[in-house]
Structure 1
Amino acid sequence: MSIYPLTIFYDGDCPVCAVEINMLRRRCTDGSLRFEDIRAAHFDSAALNVSIDTLDARIHAQRADGVMIEGPEVFALAYRAVGLDMLARLITWPPLAPLTHWLYSRFARHRHRLGRCVGPLLAWRARRQRARNLAMCSEHCAPPPPQRGEEQP
């Protein structure tokens, strides 16, 4: 039973979802996670035998063995793949699992409305983080050596 690579089907139009997916992308360095935006023009839900409405209602993923999973289980497997084992254990811990499922179902149902409210804040935070990362890199990273034929500054 092979789980990874795990293909996560997410809503690219959801600002809250985008933050989570971008975090997973940054942390995934070994190819154990793949990402498919269900809003992309090339995406075809018929190939999965799942309707776009079903995929839109809750996050889904397909394990390497072809098994489809949804909801908090997707996050637990994704967090394990990127080294966030403690968070994965918390999501699946039996005393908390019912609350996790309940909270996620409420979030999934209202994520677009929530995204409209917090989307600008999330976009601002992402821009600020990118600027911070660039500043840190410029302090610690040497500029690339000039290529043959290029002048040095």
Structure 2
Amino acid sequence: MVSEEESTPQAETSCRVFYDGACPLCRREIAFYRRREGETRIDWVDVSAADYRGGNGAPDPETARKRFHVVSARGELVAGGAAFAELWSMLPGFRAAGRLFRIPPFSWAVALAYRLFLPLRPALQKLAAKGE
């Protein structure tokens, strides 16, 4: 017999996405995801909000502003490329990519791509700010 928890489809589970709402690049990207099917199952948390404190499984404010974080439907805090794979797995249009990028060597590739992106982020933020 299957328990109620085991029979719950993935589409009904949710995750928490922590993003820097003060970052113009981050705002644009999150706005893109929030226009996708399935976004209502995600708790979007702006870590730049004055009342954001972290804790209770969430990253502290300073850590959260430095890297992209997600608390998965399983309650696991993941960051960087793994966080994108978690987010993508929650959105029907990206689900296949999310599943693929959880498996090595693809998980390594997305983690490496994210690490390579981080030094470029400040310059990209400035470009995004000019476009607003």
Structure 1 Cα separation of the partners of residues 27 and 114 of structure 2 = 16
Q: What TM-score comes out, normalization by structure 1 length?
A: 0.65
Q: Does 1:111 align with 2:83?
A: no
Q: Cα distance, 1:101 vs. partner? A: 1.0
SS of equivalent residue, structure 2 residue 78: strand
Any unmatched runs of 5+ in structure 2? none
**Structure 2 equivalent of residue 44 of structure 1:** 53
**Is 2:80 the partner of 1:80?**
no
Change (3 A) 1:30 1:105: closer
1:1-153 aligned within 5 A: 4-29=13-38, 31-48=40-57, 50-83=59-92, 84-121=94-131, 123=132
Instruction: Give how far 1:87 is off.
Output: 2.7
Structure 1 stretches of 5 or more lacking a match? Answer: 124-153
TM-aligned CA distance change 1:66 to 1:11, over 3 Å: same
What is residue 132 of structure 1 aligned with on the other side?
none
Distance of aligned partners of 1:21 and 1:49 in 2 relative to their CA distance in 1, 3 Å threshold = closer
Deviates more, 1:52-61 or 1:40-49: 40-49
TM-score of the superposed pair, with normalisation by structure 2:
0.73
Mapped to 1, the partners of 2:122 and 2:23 lie a distance apart of 6
Equivalenced residues, count = 122
Report the aligned-residue RMSD: 2.6
Does structure 2 retain, via aligned residues, the 8 Å contact 1:5–1:34? yes
